[in-house]
Structure 1
Amino acid sequence: MLLTLFCLFIAVVVLQLVYYIIVFGNFSFAKPQTINPKRVPISVIVCAKNEEENVKNFIPLLAHQNYPDYEIVLIDDASRDDTLEIFEAFEKEYSNIKLVKVENNEAFWGNKKFALTLGIKAAKNEYLLFTDADCYPKTTDWIQTMSAQFTKEKTIVLGYGAYEKIKNSFLNKMIRFETLLTATQYFAWAKIGKPYMGVGRNMAYKREEFFRVRGFIDHMKIRSGDDDLFINQAATGSNTTICFHADSFTYSKPKTTFKEWFTQKRRHVATAQHYKSFDRMQLGLFYMTQLLFLVLPIILLSYQFQWIIVLSILGFRYLFAWISLGFAAGKLQEKDTIYWFPFIELLLVFTQLFVFISNTFSKPVHWK
């Protein structure tokens, strides 16, 4: 029995190394990105619902981008606060801002995808750049850096949506590490030619890609997934590229309590259940090998089975995982999270397990 568990442990470590070195390595060890600016007309699309404080602070940052030809499409999704009034004031102040007002629709009540569809149709430009109302670009070159990745063939660009750093907060490090790991995964698979998701905090695509897959119609009843489910359906190895230059990052404020973050995680995991079969399989396999990597050594060491070998294998795997994620963290400016890697990984794996259990018995709440 112990020998069988030990062989399983070896297989798990091999699979983990395949992920961290071969798969994730496509991004982790990639050369730094260089930017060759393009001047394609861009429509920046922001959908907001009850975000008065965020839009008041962040829309001016979008309005002062270093880019010659762009408009900002502000979508108010039936807000109950002063979001609409603030948008109307911005529309008067900035000539390149267009406002789309969305009223509650009985068939699509509370569905962000309906609001985004109206915004996409209202945009005057073919190239669309998306961010959320609670996000802001790191630099005034955000539009320029993201749009530079478009080519005749590459009509979908996946960017990085980071979270602000909060000093002396271990939860903040967990959130940012999890965001780093997720980005490493979807960037790496996109470079391999198997893109499976993106984040609405920072992504771009040509409008023709939206209409090619009939927009969100195939998953309109699923309230989440305006970003990752769309990319899962529309992205291919030939039409998708990534942007990880530091000037392309967006930032948003992270959750400050475990309960809020856990609720957010529940929504993300519930949405991932609707991915294509291969994508669900590879994500599930990665998580299962993570879980088994933590559980199997505990069993083996409790019986003192080949403890020197088991500990050596543990150290070997941690070393290569640390190296792979360390290079990725350097690219995404999240190096401080890597110092806590073993402990954070342990907590994330069991948090994920708890998320699966919670989602089995109740459905998470979606758009506001």
Structure 2
Amino acid sequence: MVKNLPGILVQEYNAIHEIIVVNDNSTDESKYILDELKAAFPHIHHIELTQEAKLIAGKKFPLSMGIKSARYEYLLLTDADCVPASELWIQKMQAAYDDGIEIVLGYGAYHKKPGLLNKIIRFETFHTALQYFSYALAGMPYMGVGRNLSYKRDVFIRTKGFSSMNQIPGGDDDLFINKVARKNNTAVVIDPDAFTLSEPKQKWSDWMKQKNRHYSTSKYYKAKHKFWLGLYTFSFFWIYPLLAASIILFNWWLTLAVFGLRLLIQGIIYFNAMKKLNEKDLWPMYLLFDIWMFFYYILFFPALWKKPKKTWS
């Protein structure tokens, strides 16, 4: 928090606003640090939670308390381990609101660091964003990420917030957006100045635990979203086994030609999307990532039917 909160406090946003910080049962010095910061930044609204809500898993209770105490209509959410990519973050996200728009989806990127795990985490984040941004632009929004997400307070109050998903550890971002997002009430922002940046996991085991946790909520998506996302996953799962079978049992050069055309089209899409999302350093490895996605879906497929754990740690 000490590292990331200043990036929010120094935003170039002149309109009246408040920064709501919910300190959820922390045992460190956060309370005293927030008290000191409030003296210099009076627009900080500090909420101190000293008891956990029974039967409400994850971050939903702290988020609900912050949202219900907000004085203004437009909410811009991020996590304690996130920092805005620029001092224009609030401006850029706020500018997306227009007539009828109630939800704005942003990109929550990860810091670029050495190592294969960092590249895999960033590619998976890019790939997920490519999906939910594309679906939203096509008029079928289905999720957002809590690291960079905005919606109107009225939407939260009107739909009774997280009440329908309190028993699920996750879902305060993707399941809530899945419930309330519509074709005409959702906008996306892919301006690099509107990104947020987070620290990626340093260990494979920690990242796998995080992804299993995230995928355990997707079973609660609307049926149409599960169908289309499942069809997309199915295509990745079968592309390489069918490629091998076609080379052996069919015309090998025709098979490779069709597969090469697929890679060409996909490479063009990835290049343009990675450029927009400031992830273009990943593009030279896109073929390896394509192969990796086959194993990725095998690895995390069991999470789709496993019961979510009651904790969000």
Name the TM-score, length of structure 1 as normaliser.
0.81
Between the two proteins, what is the percent identity of the paired residues?
38
**Correspondence 1:21-170 to 2 at 5 A:** 55-68=1-14, 69-108=16-55, 111-167=58-114, 169-170=115-116
The question of whether the paired residues in 2 share the 8 Å contact of 1:266 and 1:364 is answered with no
Separation of aligned partners in 2, 1:261 and 1:331:
25
CA shift for structure 1 position 259: 1.2
Aligned to 1:183, what secondary structure does the other structure show? helix
Q: Which residue of 1 aligns with 2:240?
A: 294
> Paired residue for 2:268, among 305, 308, 323?
323
Please tell me whether residue 346 in structure 1 is matched to residue 298 in structure 2. no
Task: Pick which of 280-289 and 78-87 moved more.
Answer: 78-87
Q: Which residue of 1 aligns with 2:143?
A: 197
The question of whether the paired residues in 2 share the 8 Å contact of 1:267 and 1:365 is answered with no
Gaps (5+ residues) in structure 1? 1-54
> Paired residue for 1:258, among 204, 207, 228?
204
Separation of aligned partners in 1, 2:29 and 2:298:
39
CA shift for structure 1 position 360: 4.6
Separation of aligned partners in 1, 2:55 and 2:307:
22
Aligned to 1:117, what secondary structure does the other structure show? helix
Q: Which residue of 2 aligns with 1:355?
A: 300
Query: What is the aligned-residue RMSD (CA, Å)?
Result: 1.6
Separation of aligned partners in 2, 1:288 and 1:80:
45
**Correspondence 1:305-324 to 2 at 5 A:** 305-324=250-269
Gaps (5+ residues) in structure 2? none
> Paired residue for 2:172, among 221, 226, 229?
226
Query: Structure 2: which amino acid aligns with 1:356?
Result: F
Aligned to 2:78, what secondary structure does the other structure show? strand
CA shift for structure 1 position 105: 3.2
> Paired residue for 2:278, among 330, 333, 338?
333
Please tell me whether residue 249 in structure 1 is matched to residue 192 in structure 2. no
Separation of aligned partners in 2, 1:294 and 1:84:
53
Separation of aligned partners in 2, 1:353 and 1:336:
26
Pair 150,358 (structure 1): closer, same or farther in 2 beyond 3 Å: closer
CA shift for structure 1 position 86: 2.4
The question of whether the paired residues in 2 share the 8 Å contact of 1:143 and 1:248 is answered with yes
The question of whether the paired residues in 1 share the 8 Å contact of 2:22 and 2:46 is answered with yes
